[in-house]
Amino acid sequence: VPSNAPPPVPGAPPGPPKARTLLGIAPPVEASAAPAPIAPPIAPDFGTPIAPPVAPDLGTPIAPPVAPALGAPVDPFAPPPASGPLPPPTDPVIPDAPGPAVDEPDGFGVPTGSRGLKAILHDLRALQPRNKYLVPVVGALAGALVLLILALIVSAIRGKPSEMKTASSSATTKPSTPATTTTPSAPASTSAAPTVAPPPVETPTDTPASASEPALADCAVAGPSHVVAPRAMVSGGLEAYEYDPGLALGFAPTAREGMIALLDPMTLAATSTARGRGLGDVRRVVALPVAGKLTAVVDSDRRADRLGGRRTVVLSPPIDVGVAEGSLVWAPHRKDTYAKLFALGGEGPVESLAVAPLAGEHKGIGVAFRRGNAIWVGVAKGEGGSFTADGGLHRIAGLGTKVGSPTIAASGDRLMIAFADRAAGTEPWQVRTVMMQVGKAPGEAAPFALPDGGLGVQAMSPAAAGMTRGRFLLAWTEGPVSGHQVRAITINPDGSTSGAPLSISAQGINAGAPAAVVSQSGRGVVAFLAVKRKTFEVIATPIECAHKK
């Protein structure tokens, strides 16, 4: 099944595969002086040069992982590591020294040392029989005097009733003054109730995107190609991202290791790299900023994963899309809780799931996947923690019994879907494209006519990248089984081509499996895999889509 169309197989010397070590791969064996054998023809199922199962080390040692494996169990009840004896607890309130014993005669609790107070109490007891009502009368007078003083104080503070009313009314009218002045459309002298203006009427326009987006001209090659990495696995895919302040490429140097290379958009020099390991074989490597740091997130298939074919989507915050309970679902990144988006009727697995964040003012994602001999497309609206399906899934029938892996990209309010297709196994592969406006059904799948100047024969392994205002850059693998090249061209919102085609790979290079990205500044890159001895290397070609004047 042409998930990415296959290229020819370079010659592989006989002999057992080389042994791997903990620190990398065993040193390469020098090639013999004999001429390399001619690669046997194979069916182009993936559009990439297919290397032997063993790739020699090209002199770049692989550093062993120093961090523990992800998902290692952590004992929540384990005691913290000992760091020496802790200081004794300290009471911040220092108690006084204990005093002498207290004598409590007659139940009053007065210490025996208070001779004057005891004498006063004795005198009061002596006066009580002769002046029975003196103490109550004095107490009542004192209480009345205290109440009178309190009433005078409260009255002085609160003021007169008329003053309270004026103050309260002035306090309520003050906020209304700035409220009227902050509305420029309301006249200052108008006292009538405000009227609600009708909503603006949308006028149809031929521009399928916001006018705030820069208008990019047709793309062109901006310089020579550069080798980004000397080794990559075809099964790990090749991904391209816009990552401020540059462009990022994701690939897999080994079966379970992913790498992100951040490139300068002008020179394509690698400014930084990030590595990540998967719990299974690498399917793709995603560039994500985590705490302001470039991070390589590895998507891999895990048996215990509740989401089948889980794919990381670069949003803020990032989300995952996969299959669960007979539906296409979304989940918070690396979480098992999910919500359903589209019900999947019928039979057959979901393969080659591709997801593209919507562009411009639209918030959501576009999805495309292969199921049987058809491509399925859908749109989900939302952002943050809520996504809902915008309509149902749309089926795009293939020409025969097999179709290739789809690519999907967004630009303005448009989506572009492309895939390899053929009516029979004896026919050459061709690329078919579908244009879709957000909120509407996709158009008919149209065959992509190869521009002049290439190897011709057949085309496969398309890769679409969104530009601005509904335009796209489309890259593909072209050529016979004996050798492939990568080319690209600008696509208009209606699916027609614009400008001259771009020769991405140089002559004499057996190349395939492209990935493309174009930033809003107009700088971009088309990367691809190329055969190098017995392995594949990652090569990138800079492109520029200048701003229209």
At a CB cut-off of 8 Å and minimum separation 6, what does 501 contact? 451, 452, 453, 454, 487, 488, 489
Q: Determine contact, residues 431/229, Cβ cutoff 8 Å.
A: no
344 has a pLDDT exceeding 50: yes
pLDDT at residue 158 in the model: 55
Q: Determine contact, residues 420/461, Cβ cutoff 8 Å.
A: yes
The pLDDT tens digits for 482-501 are 899 999 999 999 999 999 99
pLDDT at residue 169 in the model: 37
pLDDT at residue 321 in the model: 98
Of 107-116, 395-404, 486-495, the one with minimum mean pLDDT is 107-116
pLDDT at residue 165 in the model: 38
At a CB cut-off of 8 Å and minimum separation 6, what does 368 contact? 353, 354, 355, 375, 376, 377, 406, 407, 408, 417
Q: Determine contact, residues 365/381, Cβ cutoff 8 Å.
A: no
For the chain, the domains span 112-158, 220-544
Both tokens assigned to 505: 């790979």
Sign of dihedral through CA atoms 182, 184, 186, 190?
Answer: positive
Sign of dihedral through CA atoms 309, 418, 252, 331?
Answer: negative
Class of domain 220-544 (CATH, top level): mainly beta
The pLDDT tens digits for 321-340 are 999 999 999 999 999 999 99
**Residue 471 burial (C-beta neighbours within 10 Å; 0-12, 13-18, 19+):** buried
Amino acid occupying residue 401: T
CA distance 413 to 455: 34
pLDDT interval class at 397 (50, 70, 90): very high
Both tokens assigned to 369: 């996947």
Q: Determine contact, residues 252/282, Cβ cutoff 8 Å.
A: yes
283 has a pLDDT exceeding 90: yes
pTM score, whole prediction: 0.65
Which 3 state secondary structure label does DSSP give 173? helix
The pLDDT tens digits for 214-252 are 889 999 999 999 999 999 999 999 999 999 889 999 999
pLDDT at residue 132 in the model: 52
CA distance 324 to 307: 5
93-121 exposure pattern, b = at least 16 Cβ within 10 A, e = fewer: eeeeeeeeeeeeeeeeeeeeeeeeebeee
Of 213-222, 425-434, 504-513, the one with minimum mean pLDDT is 213-222
DSSP of 79-106, one letter per residue? PPPP-SPPPPP--SSPPPPP-PPPP-GG
DSSP of 471-499, one letter per residue? -EEEEEEES-TT--EEEEEEE-TTS-EEE
Sign of dihedral through CA atoms 21, 27, 32, 38?
Answer: positive
Q: Determine contact, residues 536/502, Cβ cutoff 8 Å.
A: no
Name the residue with tokens 């384990």: 78
The pLDDT tens digits for 456-471 are 999 999 999 999 999 9
Q: Which residue has the higher pLDDT, 152 or 273?
A: 273
**Residue 256 burial (C-beta neighbours within 10 Å; 0-12, 13-18, 19+):** middle
Q: Determine contact, residues 323/308, Cβ cutoff 8 Å.
A: yes
H-state helical runs in 174-295:
176-181
pLDDT at residue 133 in the model: 56
Q: Determine contact, residues 249/265, Cβ cutoff 8 Å.
A: no
Task: Please give the biggest Cα pair distance in the chain.
Answer: 137
Read off the pLDDT of each residue in 387-391 and give the average, rounded to a whole number.
Answer: 96
**Residue 439 burial (C-beta neighbours within 10 Å; 0-12, 13-18, 19+):** exposed
Query: Which among 56, 55, 10, 6 is positioned nearest to 36, based on CA atoms?
Result: 10
pLDDT at residue 139 in the model: 72
The pLDDT tens digits for 24-77 are 333 433 333 334 444 444 444 445 444 444 443 434 443 444 333 333 333 333
pLDDT at residue 214 in the model: 80
CA distance 285 to 65: 17
pLDDT at residue 234 in the model: 95
Read off the pLDDT of each residue in 489-518 and give the average, rounded to a whole number.
Answer: 97
